[in-house]
Structure 1
């Protein structure tokens, strides 16, 4: 992801789709184009070597992030670029953040890959036909989209001869100095050939679900509803009614710090329960938190202004016309937390789901993000609670592929 990395440009993309066809000239193809193309390198492919697979690392940037006291250290942009290949199946995608010298940037060095989304401007979204198709999305947890399940399923996201990618990076700098960063995206792919046809490679369809509403022009980041308490849930409404059928290969989700996980439901039943983990490696442990703190003091007290906004646990909040806020039936009592969340621990992974079942036409789908600020410190911007997110991206092999 005021619009987030999801669809700051849904309407923009819809109006420009007709203008983005690439030059059909097959020679001198460059897998990265534009002002933000930093570097392209070949890596050893991990999957489908028998299909002459390839793996490219395309780096975008450098991006200059302002110091934390300017715009809360945020940098956002968007740009068009070529995909890594044409007539090919993307079998895995992963994004990381680096400094221009190639070393890793993370919360322990005061730089966050707050969000990055990759959209296909030429293809329409399944859940929002007026918007471009979201191929990949990630937060600072940097989850890999294992579309082929590490090469165990002959499937991938197909890139047509005239497709064009649109990247939306959002970075965050918690240092008091300007920093530069590069987003490195690893694309693993299999080219359409007699080999891949014989192997039965199938196309996947991305399905995007968002607590702020699938087709909202402001979709992505949600302001924490007033009065919901320190433990609350946000659910997408209305549900999305499926108009496709097929096998779900892989499901990945995303929440912000303070979140415990994200659930995907089909007809009211949980299909995927993505659980968030914190501080698993040193890259996700920082000394100062974000911009000097996450709303909790050293004594475990919640900032009074934030406390008043959150309200008591039995309150209920609702985001107008979009995400629905609910809380468990509990009373959080005193303003002091009995077990204050440990400072400086950030989301380091969110569990994913593989082969969780099928999607059928007429199914009702929704996504729910769960937050508990008593367990995990929330993100703050400018002294107030930062917006939260709850999204999920499913990859589906439709029937007939």
Structure 2
């Protein structure tokens, strides 16, 4: 079986990342390259690609310019020469619904980077067809999930897997809700994820096609970033992955048959390690599957964020295959929710209600497994570059 494909009907985010991690790490070594919820300014809407003004801030050698990259208008920290780009990955051929329920994993081990030695302040994933039309539930094509990995940085919560293999850092993730990860809170927080020149970005994704025939889809990711030199006042954000399957475990959980409401709790939680300086948790985004109502994030047993699911906020998230089922379109976000220090224990708890929200069903009439994931960003003391 090719390692890009899977014999199951859907995937395991963590273990797919591990497989990729191991292969990419070996290649990297061989090549010698390793030297919470409060009112908040809304993130800007998803932009259609438009060319940047000719008088925009200076170009820099650390800005990537491949054919699959489109320059957009930056929204934040424009006085610092910020840049916004959309990168297209693919196209990927997704099998028809009769093959593995129309699901398939894909990996881009040498994905195009937005920049080198830059501070990423905003990320958002999307899905299109090759002609540029939006792909979503209304047309039967899903961005089931996507995870971006940084090979130059060990994963914060799971630096090595159970076999001792290194795990690259999971610095961005999205489901079909396509949450905008605005780390800076619309320019109110001086922080972002630092992407070094040594970093290789790996994209792992799973797409789902509800139509009978195979079709192509293109992953898009919008990035906004501050290019080098980065002011010292801007802190590097550390990404933290919390998962009901455990921080080094399987991301999926089977749906119980004997109850309409149920929940899954992350066990054990992740303890903030010794030496961690107290810092601000600047952003949290949650991810659930259909049937999910909300995701609680806890610090040492106390809830600091409750990320609630909204269904069918627009027509893109209404099933177009005949049943008109509403799917998760938004997860509420938490900004500046709490601080973290050494010894704190973080965990998440996912809540589901089959009666309130129908769940996804496979071709054999079984209910799809569910997830409960949060990705957090904590501002570190280190800044600039």
Q: TM-score range by the shorter chain?
A: 0.7 to 0.9
Which residue of the other structure, out of 105, 112, 135, is the alignment partner of 1:76?
105
Asked if 1:165 is matched to 2:195, the reply is no
1:341-365 C-alpha deviation (Å, 9 max, x unpaired): xx51100100010000101110111
1:100-130 C-alpha deviation (Å, 9 max, x unpaired): 1111111001111111110112211111111
Q: Structure 1 residues 32, 50: CA separation in 2 closer, same or farther (over 3 Å shift)?
A: closer
Which residue of the other structure, out of 293, 316, 319, is the alignment partner of 1:260?
293
CA shift at 1:32, angstroms?
Answer: 7.9
1:261-302 C-alpha deviation (Å, 9 max, x unpaired): 11100111111100000011000112437xxx7xxxxxxxxx
Structure 1: distance between partners of 2:15 and 2:124 = 20
Query: Do the aligned partners of 2:139 and 2:321 also contact (CA within 8 Å) in 1?
Result: no
Q: Structure 1 residues 22, 146: CA separation in 2 closer, same or farther (over 3 Å shift)?
A: farther
Asked if 1:152 is matched to 2:188, the reply is yes
- Equivalent residue number for residue 9 of structure 1: 17
- Equivalent residue number for residue 77 of structure 2: 48
Asked if 1:60 is matched to 2:89, the reply is yes
Structure 2: distance between partners of 1:22 and 1:144 = 34
Structure 2: distance between partners of 1:29 and 1:79 = 21
Q: Structure 1 residues 150, 22: CA separation in 2 closer, same or farther (over 3 Å shift)?
A: farther
1:140-191 C-alpha deviation (Å, 9 max, x unpaired): 0000111111222111100112001110111111112222110111011101
Which residue of the other structure, out of 177, 183, 187, is the alignment partner of 2:223?
187
CA shift at 1:31, angstroms?
Answer: 3.9
- Equivalent residue number for residue 241 of structure 1: 271
Query: Do the aligned partners of 1:17 and 1:122 also contact (CA within 8 Å) in 2?
Result: no
Q: Structure 1 residues 239, 23: CA separation in 2 closer, same or farther (over 3 Å shift)?
A: closer
Secondary structure of 1:10's counterpart equals helix
Structure 1: distance between partners of 2:90 and 2:32 = 22
* 1:283-322 equivalences in 2 (<5 Å): 283-288=316-321
CA shift at 1:230, angstroms?
Answer: 1.1
Runs of 4+ residues over 3 Å off in structure 1: 21-24, 27-33
Query: Do the aligned partners of 2:127 and 2:135 also contact (CA within 8 Å) in 1?
Result: yes
- Equivalent residue number for residue 334 of structure 2: 353
- Equivalent residue number for residue 381 of structure 1: 362
Secondary structure of 2:181's counterpart equals coil
Query: Do the aligned partners of 1:22 and 1:163 also contact (CA within 8 Å) in 2?
Result: no
Structure 2: distance between partners of 1:7 and 1:32 = 32
* 1:73-112 equivalences in 2 (<5 Å): 73-80=102-109, 81-112=111-142
Secondary structure of 1:151's counterpart equals coil
Structure 2: distance between partners of 1:353 and 1:145 = 11
Q: Structure 1 residues 180, 32: CA separation in 2 closer, same or farther (over 3 Å shift)?
A: farther
Structure 2: distance between partners of 1:399 and 1:272 = 23
Secondary structure of 1:128's counterpart equals coil
Larger Rg: 1
Secondary structure of 1:385's counterpart equals coil
- Equivalent residue number for residue 351 of structure 2: 370
Structure 1: distance between partners of 2:107 and 2:375 = 20
Secondary structure of 2:352's counterpart equals strand
- Equivalent residue number for residue 202 of structure 1: 235
- Equivalent residue number for residue 119 of structure 1: 149
CA RMSD of superposed structures (Å): 2.3
Structure 2: distance between partners of 1:377 and 1:127 = 33
Structure 1: distance between partners of 2:143 and 2:225 = 24
TM superposition score normalised by structure 2 = 0.82
1:227-248 C-alpha deviation (Å, 9 max, x unpaired): 4x11000011011111133110
Long gaps (5+) in structure 1: 294-342
Long gaps (5+) in structure 2: 1-5, 35-59, 161-166
Report how many aligned residue pairs link the two structures: 337
Query: Do the aligned partners of 2:90 and 2:219 also contact (CA within 8 Å) in 1?
Result: yes
- Equivalent residue number for residue 332 of structure 1: none
Structure 2: distance between partners of 1:288 and 1:100 = 21
Query: Do the aligned partners of 2:307 and 2:333 also contact (CA within 8 Å) in 1?
Result: yes
